[in-house]
Amino acid sequence: MKRRFIVTAFALAVVFGALLAWNVLRNQRRSEYVEEHRPGSKNVTVMTVKEQPWRAVVTAVGTLEAAEQIQVTTQVGGKVNEVLFDSGQEVEQGDLLVVLDDAVQGAQLAQALAQRDAARNTVQQYARLLEAGDISQQHYDTLELKYRQSRAQVALAQAAVQQLRISAPFSGRVSARQVRPGQVLEPGNSIATLDTQGGLYCDFSLPESDRSKVFVGQDVKLWTDTLPGQSVLGKVTALDPSVDPGRRHFGLRASFPNEDGKLAPGAFAKMHLLLAAEEEVLAIPRTAIVYTLQGDTVYVLDTGSQQERDGQQAFQVKRVAVTPGRERDEQVVIDTGLQAGQKIVTSGQLKLEDGEWVIPQPSEPPLD
């Protein structure tokens, strides 16, 4: 009996030992499987939420215009004798640009000069006769009138010749020339465009509800595709005194410096009128926000969950609901949901889920 008990106890010990060993081995294999098949940590970029200065703005669009820009044209027709400028050349006020054929007008001027000189000599001779009482005052006045008329004819002939000599009305840069020697021009034909290459302005309009927010001298920031990634600071220089009753808008003019000539007349411009004084806000990139029908969220790093995964420092993320507010330059003010010092995912978040592990990209600043 005793022997049977010992055999039974031994058999049970063997069975329980085998079960225990199998269970330990199973748990070990399960842990290895889970470790091998767990989802990998996703690479993302992050930023630290900080307070930053912010100014309220009013946005507008318009087209840049040169402060002084004209089409240089001819007042009279004629054949082009000389073209004295090159395309894109800088010219000074009064520089001669084009000379038209003046053979006829030059002959008329020479004739008028000769008639004037003859009339002047006659008046001088008869002035002495008048003093001696040899002619009447009426006769002398008639001769003097002819002299004045001859002087007027000279002025007309000189003006006719001058119209054939086309000069720059102000200093600036000419565009591609549109005439060539030998070409016959009609009155009003364009020769080139001339602009100052100095300051530019932009006329635009705003709703009447913004009328009280805008004043002459107000700062305006401008962006244009001719200067990608750069802004130019200008000023409001004029306000229309009335509101358009049809559109309920009022007009403005903003002026911008252009000493380096990088801004181009005719370019489309986007402007921000800087309104109130600066305030401190929490602003994040628009790309950091996940917009859904259920609400707007961002992914916040749980810095307390830091651990090494895949040979790198990883963190868990938590989806947090936020209330976006004002926007400017791809930045969004967060009214509620975030606090200064939190770290949020700014790219790579579209495939994230709440509680997933992420690895901040090495290019980002190290986490504190």
Residue 237 has pLDDT above 70, yes or no: yes
Name the one residue in this structure whose structure tokens are 């770290």. Answer: 343
User: What pLDDT band is residue 22 in, cutting at 50, 70 and 90?
Assistant: low
- 42 touches 312 (CB < 8 A): no
pLDDT of 148-204, one tens digit each? 999 999 999 999 889 889 998 888 888 888 889 988 989 989 988 887 766 788 999
| pLDDT at position 226 | 84
Around 307, how many Cα atoms within 13 Å sit in the side-chain half-sphere? 7
pLDDT of 17 over the 70 cut: no
- Segments in 100-228 forming alpha helices (H): 103-132, 137-163
Its sign, for the CA torsion 114, 119, 120, 125, is: positive
**At how many degrees (to 10) do helices 137-163 and 103-132 cross?**
160
Structural domains of the chain sorted by starting position, each given as residue range(s) with its CATH number in brackets: 42-52+280-360 (2.40.420.20), 58-67+195-279 (2.40.30.170), 102-163 (1.10.287.470)
Please give the Cα distance from 103 to 168 (Å, whole number): 23
Query: How far apart (Å, rounded) are the C-alpha atoms in residues 229 and 227?
Result: 6
- Give the helix ranges, DSSP H, for the chain: 2-37, 103-132, 137-163
- Is pLDDT at 12 greater than 50 in this prediction? yes
pLDDT at 258 over 70: yes
pTM above 0.75, yes or no: no
pLDDT of 59-91, one tens digit each? Answer: 889 998 887 778 888 888 899 999 988 888 888
pLDDT at 9 > cutoff 90:
no
